[in-house]
Amino acid sequence: MTEPSPAPPAGPPDPDPLGPRARHIVDAQAAAFPELGPGTDVAQARRATSAADPDGPAVASVTERRIPGPAGAPELPVRIYRPDGSPAPPVVVFLHGGGFVLCDLDTHDTMCRNLALGSGAVVVSVDYRRAPEHRAPAAAEDAYAALCWAAAELAPAGPPAGRIAVAGDSAGGALAAAACLLARERGGPMPAAQLLLYPSLDPRLETRSMRTYGEGFFVRAAHLRWYWQQYLGSDVPPHRAPPVAAPALAEDLSGLPPARVLVPGCDPLADEGRAFAARLPSAELDEVPGGFHGFLAFTKLLPEAADAMERCTGWLRERLARTA
């Protein structure tokens, strides 16, 4: 028996829940974004979405290096942001978004700088292997390898796994959650906290928010479906995706670290973020009415984005201080 196709998006509600400034940003982003679907040239789509913000805030140092990847896999490029000269700061392993296919260290440079400055932690941004060249669970395995390396090489001694957290936005949120699942499964270093920023966790795409906000709010339901197809492969039905690829499908979330889940009100992914937070042993849900998917990239333009970033980094700072 075949799974029924998800209902088509209902389209933007009326009146528009976005404020005028947010609506202008969303429409401009959508107009510049490449069309994704059958026949998409992935290399061209990556070039179209590779712009970096050159005006990120200054941090004490930014260094590039390569670290061991999973067994049998290539080394992982990482970018390490140090906010100040503290001798033993906590560590945040960051996984960037981009649907497991797009974006890179440069597109999320400003976000990592903001995370480092706000949390007081060293941020390790991971250039994980992307789909479709590398299907699931390659990116999740890379996330876990980076966590293990950071716990061994950077995190000062102390429970649990030193003062270390994982964080990620969109698809990176799924990878951060997957790293925690793998740490539990393998008895590896368990982070003290996980920060999930509008995470993409469920390839079934069947929620009410997906139907309501899947068109007209920048990220589109059709694009999300394409991302998951690239990551899982066309032969894996969404409802049978392994939990390491789609953490929302994990039956057991016990033993995972405290989480903060940021949910913009006008995000197609909002409901899956809410549902995942409700199932975690300990989670704080941070809802932003009028926020949209990816809005943290606009902290200079949107006060609600700047405020959300401050709350999230403050939460990280407080959680990591508990393990000092």
pLDDT digits (tens, 9 = 90+) for 108-145: 999 999 999 999 999 999 999 999 999 999 999 999 99
Write the DSSP string, 32-50.
HSPP-STT--HHHHHHHT-
Half-sphere exposure of 246 (CA within 13 A, CB side): 22
Q: What is the pLDDT of residue 182?
A: 99
Annotated catalytic, 267?
yes
Helices (H), 20-127: 20-32, 42-48, 109-119
E strand or H helix at 178: helix 171-186
Which of 104, 169, 202, 267 is labelled catalytic? 267
Indicate the pTM of the whole model.
0.94
State the chain's mean pLDDT as an integer: 93
Q: Which of 96, 119, 125, 170 is catalytic?
A: 170
Active site residue 293: yes
pLDDT at 6: 46
For the ranges 13-17, 205-209, 244-248, 301-305, the lowest mean pLDDT is seen at 13-17
**Helix pair 109-119, 303-321: axis angle to 10 deg:** 50
Hunting for tokens 């890179």 — which residue is that? 104
Q: How many CB atoms lie within 10 A of CB 258?
A: 18
| Contact by Cβ (8 Å): 284, 318 | no
pLDDT (tens digit per residue) in 58-94: 999 999 999 999 999 999 999 999 999 888 899 999 9
Q: Are strands 91-95 and 122-126 parallel, antiparallel or unpaired?
A: parallel
Quick: pLDDT tens for 262-285: 999 999 999 999 999 999 999 999
Q: How far apart are CA 81 and CA 112, in angstroms?
A: 7
Q: What is the mean pLDDT of residues 163-180?
A: 98
- Of 98, 114, 109, 120, the residue nearest 174 (C-alpha): 98
| Fold category of 20-321 in CATH | Rossmann fold (3.40.50)
Sheet of 164-169: strand order equals 61-67, 76-82, 122-126, 91-95, 164-169, 193-197, 259-264, 283-288
Question: Is 170 known to be catalytic?
Answer: yes
